[in-house]
Structure 1
């Protein structure tokens, strides 16, 4: 799957290259249930893993998965390490300036939550932990709030559990798998804000029109035949 493009981002011009025809390298951040789950054997499963596996089957693509930190996904597709990246990734104008997105295959609630112990200060007077590279970090930065970014979600929550931060900010309302951890750590969903986005999608490097068209064609077909609805029912 060829990908050659030149894009200007943040003042730097990058020349991008991707894998050969028929081979696609996929970058993702895992675990991020239910989108990406690491099973007991160390393999990947989950909503987006099964979605992408079905696309690879329908499009006769040889797909190779790579796990990296979320903050490396967009830079990785821009510099040619990956042909496509996914991981519960929301489409935002800032990201659109850097990469091309498929059509969205899921719409999510705009409500995002701050998690912390009861009595924790409000976000405007708190020290906040957040995962690096997420739309949550971008929102905190735009709002001028006090925060520290961590590489993983686990590190983000550990900061609150250990007292290094007052609150953690992230997509916690869609994560029932975290309920036991919140209960054990005495954490609650405390404060909510609305952060709009354009839906959840995959990203490719700018100019990779062939791969983008094939992904979009498969996604549209899977929306039409009910495959995506079946996967959502299975995982959400």
Structure 2
């Protein structure tokens, strides 16, 4: 799904192993439904909350949830503020140079464009909004369109409404409910297939933790429960 600018994360060092602790801390953004969001009770909710809780149960781990802003989510994993990233993060070669990943728990989700209803949008030469440091932002930056970046997904949609951008490019599963609930916004027909599926991020030193989550993810694939969650939350294609 998203692409982190790695910055100084490659230089950060970590101390200890996640499994040496009593609790495995699950880091997420909490701002990207249906993957993850904060519900009315102030708790982490969504596809990844339900998935993560089940993975921890199957791996026989005690887990707690931690939220972190997207821009610093990899550096703060590396520095030890939490032990995993489960935040709609696409597995990419660039990220894999700094952290490690489990196997994917979703298929690649098509990226879609959201625009004002009735607008004549030039996707090749127009102004396209995307969340900072995402694979969508990278895609637009490499095209002939003009990229405008925002810190949060909500701000990208607001940019379309206030005229700062002609359209926003983001995961289709994120944009579809917004289009369905707002008569002034529509999904455009064109879609982009970016990224190679979403996985959990872990520190490179936490091989035992990675193995435990890999086994749990595989067991959910094998018994069909992962596909059931994907369908429930309308994330995309099943396995």
Structure 1 and Structure 2 fold alike (TM over 0.5): yes
Report the TM-score when normalising by structure 1: 0.84
**Structure 1 outlier segments of 4+, above 4 Å:** 8-12
Aligned-residue offset at 1:41: 1.0
Partner of residue 24, structure 2: 24
Are the structure 2 counterparts of residues 179 and 220 from structure 1 closer, same or farther at C-alpha, using a change threshold of 3 Å?
A: same
Where do 1:61-80 residues align within 5 Å?
Answer: 61-80=61-80
Distance 1:89 1:204 in 2: 12
| CA RMSD after TM alignment | 2.4
Where do 1:28-177 residues align within 5 Å?
Answer: 28-109=28-109, 111-117=110-116, 118-143=118-143, 145-173=145-173, 175-177=175-177
Partner of residue 190, structure 1: 188
Are the structure 2 counterparts of residues 68 and 9 from structure 1 closer, same or farther at C-alpha, using a change threshold of 3 Å?
A: closer
Maintained 8 Å contact 1:71/1:134: no
Distance 1:90 1:155 in 2: 21
Q: Give the gaps of 5 or more residues in structure 1.
A: 1-7
Aligned-residue offset at 1:223: 1.6
Aligned-residue offset at 1:144: 5.6
Distance 1:166 1:220 in 2: 41
Distance 1:11 1:197 in 2: 21
Distance 1:191 1:76 in 2: 37
Maintained 8 Å contact 1:92/1:197: yes
Maintained 8 Å contact 1:115/1:191: no
Maintained 8 Å contact 2:102/2:199: yes
Aligned-residue offset at 1:48: 1.2
- What whole-Å deviation, never above 9, does each CA across 1:18-53 have from its counterpart, x for those lacking one? 654232111111232222233221112222111111
Report the TM-score when normalising by structure 2: 0.83
Are the structure 2 counterparts of residues 153 and 96 from structure 1 closer, same or farther at C-alpha, using a change threshold of 3 Å?
A: same
Distance 1:52 1:180 in 2: 27
Are the structure 2 counterparts of residues 11 and 21 from structure 1 closer, same or farther at C-alpha, using a change threshold of 3 Å?
A: closer
Q: Give the gaps of 5 or more residues in structure 2.
A: 1-5, 235-239
Maintained 8 Å contact 1:113/1:169: yes
How many pairs were matched up?
226
Partner of residue 222, structure 1: 220
- What whole-Å deviation, never above 9, does each CA across 1:187-232 have from its counterpart, x for those lacking one? 2223624333221111112222111111101111222222212222
